[in-house]
Amino acid sequence: MKPICLVTILLATACGDDNDRPTEMGVDPDTAPVANVDRFADNFGHLFKRSAPAFDPVHVQPNVPAPNAPIDLDAAFTIKALGPRGERVTYYSLDILPRVPSVGYIVRRNGQPVPGQLEIIDGLPGDPGYNDFVRITEVAVADDYVANTLTSADDVRAAVTAGEATTTQTERIANWAVVPAGTTAQLKFRGKTITGNRAWVRGQVAHFLRFEEDLAVGVDGSVPLAEIVVMFANNMSPAEGFELDGDGRTHNAIDKLATDPGYSSLWNHSVGNTANFEAVVDFPSAVDNIMAANVGVDVNCPEVR
């Protein structure tokens, strides 16, 4: 456990040197090691698994990067769809995820985030229990806490055991999708750039995409869901991708926009009948066309613009 006390270098009183002063110490995120991230490995990927993508492998596989290489989200992971009232919408498809959130920590001093302190997560894609969606735990530290002294979940737990911090689990879930450094995404979420975010994980720096941070925890502790109805080109499975119109747009339809109350980027999927593709113009008409409801697939699909 790294010390949390502000004073980490003692005064050399025997020397009587006026230049000896207490020195603040915290780990510099700019020089810390960067975590290796692979969202396409067999132990994490589903729709976009590198070895055998379930979704449209002819088009997706050439765009799957090497392990820890940056992802171009706009190259193969962007879907054009329909909003609840027929709006033209776009979403990033970030693969299937569980409904049980992992843990994310925000360090606070006197009730406010500590300036310069990175958020802390407890795992990477492929680790047991990892999820892009994290339930926020607030970590309260003393007035003399130095930013980025805590750099791992183990540090947080040790600080609590030592009586140097306290934690409070909130009722809030955030969508922090961990990606390799250098990952690009041109579109914005609720008007904000989603790249350029960093968190600590096991003393390393992990880059992540920042989407919603105000999801209310479900009554069973789960990530709340929104709904989407999709139609496949082969009317059966994602193997050939989605059915598209002449503008390259699916008629997949979502029940909420990112700015709507109750929105969540974790979408519960139902499947519509492609024979009625042209008749689907909004979410109500998509619901009328469902041939397989709630197929057990929840995908992180942030609606972006």
Q: What is the pLDDT of residues 231-244, one digit of tens each?
A: 999 999 999 999 99
Percent of the chain beyond pLDDT 70? 92
Determine the average pLDDT of the residues in 26-55.
Answer: 97
pLDDT of residue 16: 38
Q: How far is CA 54 from CA 9, 20, 163, 252, in A?
A: 55, 62, 48, 18
Say yes or no to pLDDT of 23 above 60. Answer: no
Determine the average pLDDT of the residues in 266-292.
Answer: 98
Tell me the per-residue pLDDT of 133-161, one tens digit each, with 9 for 90 and over. 999 999 999 999 999 999 999 999 999 99
Taking alpha carbons only, the member of 126, 120, 11, 154 closest to residue 67 is 126
Both structure tokens of 240 = 């050939």
Whole-model pTM? 0.91
Taking alpha carbons only, the member of 300, 296, 6 closest to residue 149 is 6
Read off the pLDDT band of 13 (50, 70, 90). very low
Handedness of CA 282, 288, 291, 296 (dihedral sign): positive
Q: How far is CA 32 from CA 106, 147, 204, in A?
A: 19, 14, 6
pLDDT of residue 10: 28
Are 276 and 65 spatial neighbours (Cβ–Cβ below 8 Å)? no
Q: Which residue has the higher pLDDT, 7 or 77?
A: 77
Which strand (E) or helix (H) includes residue 210?
A: strand 204-210
pLDDT of residue 76: 86
Say yes or no to pLDDT of 6 above 60. Answer: no
pLDDT of residue 12: 31
Strands 298-300 and 266-272: antiparallel
pLDDT of residue 107: 98
Contacts of 24 (CB under 8 A, 6+ apart): 6, 8, 146
Q: Considering the chain, what is the average pLDDT of its residues? A: 93
Say yes or no to pLDDT of 268 above 90. Answer: yes
